[in-house]
Amino acid sequence: MKKQTLNTPIQFRRKPLIMALEPRILLDGAAVVTTADLTTDVAYQDGAAQTETVEQSVHFAAPAPTGTDSGNRREVAFVDTAVEDYQSLADGLDESVEIILIDGNGNGLEQMVAALQDETGIDAIHLFSHGDVGELKLGTLTLNDDNLQAN
């Protein structure tokens, strides 16, 4: 046996302490990642489908036909002449839709009121104009929260 001196450290041997802890359950997070990937892919595809050119959106500007007899429906479309290439937009509408042009140099709302003043039996009114967040531009008039009640 080797004699211990002051310079040699004393080594203690311990028995390993093994004791049972609470039960552990391993959950796989791959399902969350897979779902997130699928959701991102679908959102990306939806966004890509919505990025159309003006020519493509003009082609689909006419309202979808319904199951009812379209001969009995009366629809009016107001097209602001301030919109770039407004004539192509108007030409893309269904022949049954009555098209009224809004002079881009005048108050569009007043023009609409004058055009519809004595009219009845209109099933739908379509507006084709410019807008912005919280605003609708009709000719020289810009409708928003501030002036909506006044007009």
Within a domain: residue 107?
yes
Predicted local confidence at residue 2, as pLDDT: 60
Residue with tokens 């209109």: 122
Q: Which domain holds residue 133?
A: 62-143
Within a domain: residue 12?
no
Predicted local confidence at residue 18, as pLDDT: 75
Predicted local confidence at residue 41, as pLDDT: 54
- Give the chain's residues under pLDDT 50: 43, 51-62, 67-68
Predicted local confidence at residue 140, as pLDDT: 92
Evaluate if pTM is beyond 0.75.
no
Within a domain: residue 124?
yes
Predicted local confidence at residue 103, as pLDDT: 92
Tokens of 67: 């199951």
The number of folded domains in the chain is 1
